Structure 1
Amino acid sequence: MSAPRAARNGPTFRELAVQALSSVEHGYDLLAPKFDRTPYRTPDAVLDATARALRPYGPFGAGLDLCCGTGAGTRVLREVCGGRVAGVDFSTGMLARAREAAPEADWVRGEAHALPFAPGAFDLVVSFGAHGHFLPAEHPHLFAQVRATLSAGGHLAFPLAAPPRPGTAPYWSLLAFDAAMRVRNAVWRPPFVMYYRTWPLSGVRRELREAGFAVTLHPLPELGSREDGSPRCRLVLATKLPDLPDQAVSAGTP
């Protein structure tokens, strides 16, 4: 996702402003009819690179697109999964668009904080562009929910872009966006949680390991390199480790 701006044939500035002053759920219900024509929709290049990186670990059985929106991520699941393909989101408007685009998938309304699936229901969970909707304090419970949904040895995968270098225009742009959102949420209700700087790689790796995952990183070379040769984007692949006694007890506890 990128900082809000109008796109050709997409939502107007006024429509984006109304969304930003709504709750997260209602805001996405409003945006759903035009969502795929905004910069928020995950680019096909990112989806294709993710599928390529996942193929050596498959084929997988059942796959879930977490916070699926209009369902773009299920394109990856259909390429690498041989079983059930499902998407979960809390926006009825986004799910309606997803059903229109891919009626063969299972579209489920639900919260990421309380996933409505049986333990071990999926072999692969992917997520695209939803990270900013989760505050750091929510990460442990989110990862515990995903881990409980995965089968033994199952995987959670998501692309993660390298942060812009301090002092560059993109750095100041994201900093300004997050600052504006914090001011908005301090003075306006309901809150709209969407931040760009709450998902640092080092912290997320640590939290995933603490939640019972082994974590590996896979460059996505199709998406380019930075000046120092490091990748602009990596795939984070978290593999479920066997249960520890305390994890088995606490996985469903907020």
Structure 2
Amino acid sequence: MFGPEGPRLRELAVQALSSVEHGYDLLAPKFDHTPFRTPDQVLEAVAEALVPLGPFEDGLDLCCGTGAGVEALTGLCRRSVTGVDFSAGMLDVARHRVRPADGPGVAWVRGDARALPFRAAFDLVVSFGAFGHFLPRELPGLFAQVHSVLRPGGRFAFPVLAPPRPARPAFWALLGFDAVMRVRNALWRPPFVMYYRAFRLTDVLGELGRAGFVVELHALPGFGRRGDGSPRARLVEARRTQPAAGSVNS
């Protein structure tokens, strides 16, 4: 599962018993050598799907980690790309690994996705693999924050992979992981929020609509289709058209 440059079991155990922020600070130097890093195939498929929706001037990678998504955005945005994450360790790795020679300017901001320090500054926001760190009850606030940092007409985009079926070993692996995390969080503080099965597409689409987005789904063809014909991977494209209900931001 992990290569020779990845974290050892003891390091993962220490991370899992830390807070989310401190855990990722510890994992940051070896994060790119773990399965938790978004595969290049996903990054490339999302970038390809976004090209016809542009052009984009300013982009934001929400919960950017070590910067793989920021790197993808530099090929889509003409003026600036910003990565925001609450782990100082992850941002430090990102600053050293993403240094485009030309193209848009790149900035790194330490911040919480639930309280973003921007207002209507971007026409594209993306996120890769971060939503397991948010509880379902936090999604309305999270999506309201994203809505507030987008300009009218701006897009919030992220990939969603079809969940494995119960007949597949991956289904039981993810179920077991979530069960272990729930037990851990019931017995240990601070909590480490990381659940693979809590981000359900039907619920997410409803929350995006309530936040003021118009949503479209695009199949990512490089991942093929399941036996019932449904895509194995989709791009969620949520477009800001008006302020969210109760929002004072335009």
- What TM-score do you get using the length of structure 2 for normalisation? 0.94
Matches within 5 A, 1:2-81: 5-81=1-77
Displacement after TM superposition at 1:7 (Å): 3.1
Deviations 1:101-145 (A, max 9, x none): 12451000000010011x210000000000100000000000000
* Residue 238, structure 1, aligned to residue 234, structure 2: no
Whole-angstrom CA distance in 2 between matches of 1:8 and 1:207: 41
Indicate conservation of the 8 Å contact 1:45/1:223, yes or no: no
* Alpha-carbon contact 1:86-1:106 (below 8 Å) kept: yes
Paired positions, count: 244
Report the residue type matching 2:110 in the other structure. Answer: R
SS in 2 for 1:137: helix
For the residues of structure 1 that align with 2:3 and 2:156, how far apart are their CA atoms?
31
Q: TM-score, normalised by structure 1?
A: 0.93
CA displacement, residues 61-93 of structure 1 (integer Å, 9 cap, x when unaligned):
100000000000012211111111000000000
**Equivalent in the alignment of 1:130:** 130
Q: How does 1:185-224 map to 2 (within 5 A)?
A: 185-224=185-224
For the 8 Å contact 1:99–1:105, the answer to whether it is kept is no
Contact 1:65 1:126 in 2 (8 A): yes
Q: Is the 8 A contact 1:47 1:75 kept in 2?
A: no
Partners of 2:114 and 2:182 lie apart in 1 by 22
Q: What is aligned with 1:248?
A: 247
State the 1:231 CA deviation.
1.5
Query: Displacement, 1:186?
Result: 0.3
Find the aligned partners of 2:174 and 2:128 in 1 and give their Cα distance: 18
Give yes or no for contact 1:140–1:211 (8 Å, CA) kept in 2.
yes
Partners of 1:147 and 1:102 in 2: CA distance: 27
Measured in 2, the distance between the counterparts of 1:221 and 1:7 equals 29
| One-letter amino acid of the counterpart of residue 33, structure 1 | P
The amino acid that maps onto 1:222 is: G
**Residue in 1 aligned with 2:114?**
113
**% of aligned pairs identical?**
63
The letter of the residue matching 1:40 is F
> Post-superposition shift, 1:172?
1.1
Check if 1:145 corresponds to 2:141: no
Could you list the runs of 4 or more consecutive aligned residues of structure 1 that deviate by over 6 angstroms after TM superposition? none
Partners of 2:35 and 2:79 lie apart in 1 by 31
CA RMSD in angstroms comes to: 1.2
Structure 2: distance between partners of 1:226 and 1:13:
34
> Could you tell me which residue of structure 1 aligns to residue 102 of structure 2?
none
Structure 2's unaligned 5+ residue stretches are 100-104
